[in-house]
Amino acid sequence: MLKIINNFLRKKYWIYVFPALMDVSVAFLLLLVSVKAVQMGMSPFKLGILGSVWGISYFVSNLLLSRFAHKQTANLFMVLGCLSFIVIAPGFIFFHSLAALFILAFLIGPATAFFFIGFQLFMGEGANLSVLKSTSFYTFGWSAGIAFGSLIAGTLAGLPPAISILPVVASSLLIIAGLRFIGKFSAKQREGDKKEKRHTSSGLDKTVTPGTEKTYLLLGWVGIVTVSIISGGLRFLMPKLIIDFFGLSAAVAGTLLFLSFAVQAVFGLFLMKFPGWRYNFKAHSRLELLGLAGVFLALVISGLTGVIILSVVVGIYSGHAFYNGVFYSLCQRHKRGRNVSVNESLVGISGIFGPLILGAALQAGISYFFLAPVLLIAITYFIQAFLVRSTT
């Protein structure tokens, strides 16, 4: 057993546990904000505005903090992010107004940015894996964190805040303890790592031209915008949809979000088994059209069954899109830092518009809520097809 643990640590697969633990906290608090807002009678569109507050603060925080981040401060940034969540969580005990929810949603943004800016720099010193595999493990890690965070938040939402926030405190403390332990372990391994030749390849068995790399990077960014709008909107509007429109509990909303992000996590991990799908627009198109067919089916069926179908389809579609965005960003070796910053900025910007778009759609009626993902995915497909055809 000790040999297995030592090998796990030496290969540094453990780095992907950290985003999973952090996203437990992120998903937990954001869902708790949404559930509390629904309980206070907030309309879908106002709930969308509340969700966009997190997107604004996350986007701005990324822009500001990235100027001060470097690999020497990576651990400090992650610890500050964890401490921020430990400080923010008790706010749900002491503050109970709508204004307080807006403040808490805003504060979650910089706390999230602190951690993930630090983690991306930290990950750069991590496992010596191909981009194909590291992207899968990263997608799986953070998606699984959001899945379990949503499930736990939905289950505990009805309990007193002093009890319900404990998972946030626990996950943050686990990260801090893990960083301290790994720091000691890494010091012992540092000499061995210096002797080990490190080379991070794409993991593909084909050569890709710079022009093709650029085209598919743009394709990946378009996909990130779309799925961040859809999944971000779902994360904030699902409690409103389930509690007020279907008369069910917050636990059901958390379970459906768990389903969506768990599917996203598994599909992201699954994609490393298919390197031939990368830089292959035919394979990409098939998945895009399957996603479009899936959300259209959800629109036709509607009701709770439609929501379940939508959750699963969005999970698959998002797993593919987020994987592509990260993979194509990292394949441009000399522009990885810039590309990753663009990724996070796009997530932040989309996090502003996602809740607003789906909130306005749900305000207009449940059929419009189902229609929004259909239109977004259809528009995305045509934009991506245009990008590929205009450059090949």
Higher pLDDT, 300 or 335: 300
Q: Residue 127's pLDDT band (boundaries 50, 70, 90)?
A: low
- DSSP label of 277: G
Cβ pair 171, 25 in contact under 8 A:
yes
Confidence class of residue 146 from pLDDT cuts 50, 70 and 90? Answer: very high
Q: Taking each helix axis from N to C terminus, what angle separates 17-39 and 210-240, rounded to the nearest 10 degrees?
A: 40
What per-residue confidence (pLDDT) applies to 201?
A: 54
Which residue type occupies 14?
A: W
Asked whether the predicted pLDDT for residue 121 surpasses 90, the reply is no
Cα separations in angstroms, 189 against 28, 193, 195, 261: 35, 6, 10, 35
Burial 15-39, CB ≥16 within 10 A → b, else e = bbbbbbbbbbbbbbbbbbbbbbbbe
State which residues form the domain around 209.
2-390
HSE-CB for 356 with a 13 A CA cutoff: 11
- Rounded to the nearest 10°, the torsion over CA 264, 270, 275, 278 is -10
**The pLDDT of residue 188 is above 70:** no
| First-residue to last-residue Cα distance in the chain | 52
The rounded mean pLDDT for the chain is: 86
* In the chain, % of residues over pLDDT 90: 56
Give yes or no for residue 234 having a pLDDT over 90: yes
214: how many CB neighbours lie within 10 A of its CB?
A: 15
- To the nearest 10°, the Cα dihedral for 174, 176, 181, 186? 130
Alpha-carbon distance of 248 to 365, in angstroms, equals 18
Cα distance between residue 225 and residue 321, in whole Å: 9
pLDDT band at residue 143 using 50, 70 and 90 as cut-offs:
very high
Reported as a single tens digit per residue, the pLDDT across 64-95 is 887 777 767 788 999 999 999 999 999 998 88
Looking at 191-200, 207-216, 380-389, which range is the least confident one? Answer: 191-200
Helix (H, G, I), strand (E, B) or coil at 63: helix
For 305-320, the pLDDT digits (tens) are 999 999 999 999 999 9
User: Is 381's pLDDT higher than 50?
Assistant: yes
Interacting residues of 368 by C-beta distance below 8 A, sequence separation 6+: 361, 362
How many Cβ atoms from other residues are within 10 Å of residue 89's Cβ?
A: 25
273 confidence band (pLDDT: 50, 70, 90): confident
DSSP-H helix ranges across 89-209: 91-94, 98-123, 131-156, 161-164, 166-195
Q: Are 259 and 308 in contact (CB under 8 A)?
A: yes
Q: What are phi and psi of 76, to 5 degrees?
A: -60, -45
Query: Domain tally for the chain?
Result: 1
pLDDT of 328 > 70? The answer is: yes
Q: Contact at 8 Å (CB) between 353 and 229?
A: yes
Mean pLDDT on 124-143 = 75
pLDDT confidence band for 281 (50 / 70 / 90): confident
pLDDT of 108 reads 96
Helices (H) and strands (E) in the chain, counts: 15, 0
pLDDT(202) > 60: no
In the block, residue with structure tokens 């999970």: 315
Q: What is the CATH number of the domain that holds 281?
A: 1.20.1250.20
Cβ-proximal residues to 375 (8 Å cutoff; 6+ apart), any chain:
none
- pLDDT at position 2, please? 54
Range with the lowest mean pLDDT among 9-13, 59-63, 170-174?
9-13
pLDDT over 50 (residue 197) = no
pLDDT band at 186 (very low <50, low <70, confident <90, very high): low
Rounded to 10 degrees, the C-alpha dihedral 181/187/189/191 comes to: 180
If we measure between CA atoms, which residue out of 61, 183, 182, 51 comes closest to residue 115? 61
Question: Would you state the structure tokens that stand for residue 291, as one six-digit string?
Answer: 């996603």
Average pLDDT over residues 341-361: 89
pLDDT above 70 covers a percentage of the chain that reads: 87
Distance CA 36, CA 317 (A): 29
- What is the band of 159 on the pLDDT scale with cuts at 50, 70, 90? confident
Q: What's residue 4's pLDDT? A: 54
pLDDT at 168: 94
Place of tokens 């390197």: 275
Provide the CA 30 distance to its chain's centre, in angstroms. Answer: 12
pLDDT for 301 beyond 50? yes
